[in-house]
């Protein structure tokens, strides 16, 4: 039975799998749909990315925490985390200043969700990494430099 279930799951596309999970009651319909900001992910500079996200000039905040290594041996897999203690945090984004496309990840947080995300990013070279958080309609950020020994992005 377990082998058959795995075969079925492997054969389903991402959208089909979401439909099956929603039909089975494992997730609410529409809860797993992504909001894709094409302009923000296609932007070539930090300023363009912030503009596409309607972030203006975010304020530095000690309520936003960005974790990651001081030195990443391989830029292809750099673990980072962002947490926000700001109330009503609705969005978390991770931007890398010197990447060909600065926006590495963006997360929309439903109401009541703990504002904490962990992921792995690709970095082309040593760069400032920014955690951008939207809370109560305002944008805040934290910055951390991560040194990269071997780059993980093509130029």
Give the β-pairing of 71-74 and 103-108: unpaired
Q: Among residues 129, 131, 29, 47, which one has the least CA distance to residue 89?
A: 131
Handedness of CA 91, 97, 99, 102 (dihedral sign): positive
List the domain boundaries for the chain.
1-33, 38-150
CATH H-level superfamily of 38-150: SoxY domain (2.60.40.2470)
Handedness of CA 92, 49, 39, 54 (dihedral sign): positive
The residue length of the chain stands at: 155
Q: Which residues pair with 117 in a beta bridge?
A: 82
Q: Tens of pLDDT along the chain (155 residues)?
A: 455 555 555 555 555 555 665 666 665 555 545 567 889 999 999 999 999 999 999 999 999 999 999 999 999 999 999 999 999 999 999 999 999 999 999 999 998 889 999 999 999 899 999 999 999 999 999 999 999 997 666 54
* This prediction's pTM: 0.76
d(CA 43, CA 51): 9
């Amino acid at each position: 039975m377990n082998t058959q279930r795995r075969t079925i799951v492997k054969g389903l596309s991402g959208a089909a799998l979401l439909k099956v999970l929603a039909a089975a009651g494992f997730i609410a319909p529409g809860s797993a749909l992504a909001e894709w900001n094409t302009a923000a992910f296609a932007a070539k500079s930090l300023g363009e990315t912030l503009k596409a996200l309607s972030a203006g000039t975010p304020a530095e905040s000690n309520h936003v925490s960005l974790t990651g290594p001081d030195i990443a041996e391989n830029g292809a897999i750099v673990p980072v985390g962002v947490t926000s203690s700001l109330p009503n945090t609705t969005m978390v984004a991770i931007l890398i200043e010197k990447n060909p496309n600065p926006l590495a990840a963006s997360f929309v947080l439903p109401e009541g969700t703990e504002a904490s995300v962990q992921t792995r990013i690709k970095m082309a070279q040593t760069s400032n990494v920014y955690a951008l958080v939207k809370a109560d309609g305002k944008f805040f950020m934290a910055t951390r430099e991560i040194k990269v020994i071997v780059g993980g992005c093509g130029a």
